[in-house]
A and B are shown apart, each in its own frame.
Chain A
Amino acid sequence: MFRNPFNMNFCVAVSVLVGMTMGVPVHAASSPAALEFTPEQEMPAEVYQGDRERLHFTVRNVADHSITIDRIFPRKGGGSGSATPGTLAPGSVGKIELDLTFPEALGAGQVNFLVKTNNPDKPTEMLGVSYFVQSAFSPELRLFDFGNLHTGQRARSTLEVSTRLVPELKLEKVISKPDWLDVEIKPSASGSGQSKRVVATTTSLPPVGIVNSEVVLKSNLDRDRPLRIPVLLRAFSKYAIAPLPLSLGGVDEGMDKHSKLRITRFGKGDVLIDSVETGSPALRAERVSCGSGCVDLMLTFDSMKARGGLRTVLKVSFKDDTQPLLVPIDALVVPIGVKSIELGDLDTLTVRGKTEMLEPSP
């Protein structure tokens, strides 16, 4: 297990060398590059989440014949590129302009642009753009996590957000939010003008299940960089289940793996299960009482019956609730002789809003 300096619980660094460096074409062994790219700005491009930038490169034709650049486009994702002039004589230099929107994902990355030409020896050249995405706000990883909510319950989550890019942070309006959430901007408890408290309160219950949404606020930072706060909650009717979703992780081929799902009732009364459907012959569920208003489903995954892995949805129906519980469950069957690394929980650094239940309690 590799630990990084920020003490993420588990972090695997994967380096993929694609045979190119920033601004330098890939040199295939059989056909040498005919175009050489040189960035006109410092690289890697240091940007903020979601920034849209225009990047400029010079391009030199190092072949002994003219080359026409037909098209420039990113290998993945959005963006565009253009070359001026479109045709380069041997030894001549032109300009390339790339227009791209950088991702929300923080940290170092690279986007590869394909440069399509009429060069029969090498019709596609590659232009790699390395970048580093920063957050304009702190905490960088932020979340409104409302936990479990049942019908009729309301909750409020408060998150303190700051920036050091302007002397005073202004969050001027809500650009988007879920319908069932009310959002207010309040002064920071610390009194700092660079911080604001964002308070999100549920007004109704979203559809039952795992709900992932987002609050987007307009800020006074350069380029109107918005503040984005993901929203997570698990909406339930009469019954709740945990964990949701459930990952069994890696299972050695031929072995069984056991896990547990706990069903609890909101309010008083027994858990009245009508049926449990695992969705896979490889997964068995046995009911065990865990006290008043509580039932555990003891799960057994038989890797021999699900070669390759498991991806199913377990469904629990109730006698006194029309709303079933649906739990996505996955497992990866690891063939004998293959070494596997358990990654575990990867979001331990996320700062969650301080959430309080308003009404009513179970």
Chain B
Amino acid sequence: MKWLLVMAWLAALGTASAKDADVGIRHATPVLHWTSKDEKGVYGYIIYRSASADGPFLRVNKRIVPAVRPKPSVSGEAAKLPADNRYEYEDSSANPAKTYYYSIDAVSRTGLSKQLTRPIRREPRLLPSN
């Protein structure tokens, strides 16, 4: 199955703040960034997470992260998308002190999904102390 969504990747992980209450150390909540090009026919994105590279991977976002829709132009044709569509998802359900593996699926408007990324490892990150 050829996939015309040209490119999508996880760019960075982890910036938002969170607190590990048990030890009083502040860890960064995992934040996923990805960029896509050519989203024609894409409804949105589903994020999966696992504590192991081998799985099991479980769905994180209950609602699908909606794809950026091209705005119709005056002539009725789809306007050109910007060069990149950038997305960010903060995984507030994760334990910031744990290592996780993430992967992202794109879902078409016809309900079919396609894995965009291989599992990407995210290590716990300490936030700078105040």
Contacts and interface: CB of A to CB of B under 8 A. Distances in A.
B112 A106 contact: yes
A171 B56 CA distance: 17
Contacts, number: 77
How many chain B residues sit at the interface, stated as a range, is 20 to 34
A107 B44 CA distance: 11
B57 A164 contact: yes
A210 B113 CA distance: 30
Interface stretch (B13-21, B22-30, B92-100, B103-111): B103-111
A5 B111 contact: no
A106 B110 contact: yes
Given A132-B43, A135-B111, A349-B1, A167 B63 contact: no
A4 B3 CA distance: 9
Interface residue tally on A, bucketed by range: 20 to 34
Contacts of A349: 1, 112
Contacts of A68: none
DSSP majority for the A interface? Answer: loop
A277 interface: no
Contacts of A8: 110
B81 interface: no
B51 to A, nearest CB: 10
Interface in B22-68: 38-43, 48, 55-59, 63-64
Given A132-B64, A349-B1, A4 B110 contact: yes
Interface in A159-203: 164-168, 192-194
B107 A5 contact: no
Contacts of A52: none
B74 interface: no
Contact of A5 (B5, B56, B64): B5
27 contacts: A4-B40, A4-B41, A5-B3, A5-B41, A5-B106, A6-B3, A6-B110, A6-B114, A7-B2, A7-B4, A8-B110, A11-B110, A107-B43, A107-B111, A108-B43, A108-B111, A134-B111, A141-B112, A164-B48, A168-B56, A192-B56, A193-B56, A194-B55, A194-B56, A194-B57, A349-B1, A349-B112
